[in-house]
Amino acid sequence: MIVVADKVFESITVSSANFVDREFYECTFKNCDLSNLNLSNAKFFNTTFIDCNLANTNLSSAQIRDCQFKACKLICIGISRANFAFAANFYERDLQYAEFMDLNLKKIILEQCHCKGIRFMSCNLRNARFTGCSFGEAIFSNCDLQEAAFTNAYHLIIDPSANKIKKTTIDLETAANIASQFGFTVN
């Protein structure tokens, strides 16, 4: 295993070969094109991604721990229990159609993210913070959303019968959307 530490990668296009048998510690990727790569065996620890394109990237078995994704594009990525070391926060990101399955995402932070069609399936999202995110067509199924906070969330609909929602904080618009989905009329 080759260890790469404290390195800045800026404005580069990367091939999958660059990530084979590599562990990245406290690195920064800025304005990099990492799209359509197979990063299933890559390991990232305390790494920051800024303005990077990771669309359609295979992260199925990647280890991602204490990483930050800021203003990145992550359309159609998939992260599941195979990512046993997954812990990350997302800021100003495009997460359209991303899938998070069977993960412990306690206290995850999503701020100003475009989450159209995002899927959270069987995830622990206790104490998660979703601020200023757009959730059109998003699916939360069999998730623990207890004490999660959705602040200034747009187009959010959560099925209370399919998720644990005790002490979840939502705004009035979201409450009205959920009520209307169950046949209530809100005046």
The percentage of residues in the chain with a pLDDT greater than 90, rounded to a whole number, is: 61
Give the number of other CB atoms < 10 A from CB of residue 38.
Answer: 17
User: 150-187, pLDDT tens digit by residue?
Assistant: 999 999 999 999 999 999 999 988 898 888 888 998 88
What is the per-residue pLDDT for 61? 76
Answer yes or no: do 68 and 120 share one domain: no
Range of the domain at 14: 1-94
What is the per-residue pLDDT for 163? 97
Q: Which of 76, 94, 112 is the last residue of a domain?
A: 94
User: 32-44, pLDDT tens digit by residue?
Assistant: 999 998 887 889 9
Q: Which residue has the higher pLDDT, 17 or 48?
A: 48
Answer yes or no: do 11 and 56 share one domain: yes
What are the angstrom distances between the C-alpha of 160 and each of 107, 118, 164?
A: 20, 18, 7
Q: Which of 57, 76, 94 is the last residue of a domain?
A: 94
Answer yes or no: do 1 and 89 share one domain: yes
Answer yes or no: do 90 and 109 share one domain: no
Q: Which of 94, 119, 138 is the last residue of a domain?
A: 94
**Does the pLDDT of residue 146 top 90, yes or no?**
yes
User: 98-117, pLDDT tens digit by residue?
Assistant: 999 998 999 999 999 999 99
Output the DSSP codes for 46-91.
Answer: S-EEES-B-TT-B-TT-EEESEEEES-B-TT-EEETT-TT--EEEE
First to last CA, the chain: 61
Q: Taking the model in full, what pTM does it have? A: 0.83
What is the per-residue pLDDT for 72? 92
Q: Looking at residue 27, what DSSP letter applies?
A: -
Answer yes or no: do 146 and 162 share one domain: yes
Answer yes or no: do 118 and 61 share one domain: no
Answer yes or no: do 15 and 61 share one domain: yes
**CATH number of the domain within which 17 lies:** 2.160.20.80
Report the number of distinct structural domains present in the chain. 2
Answer yes or no: do 57 and 134 share one domain: no
Q: Would strands 22-25 and 43-45 be described as parallel, antiparallel, or unpaired?
A: parallel
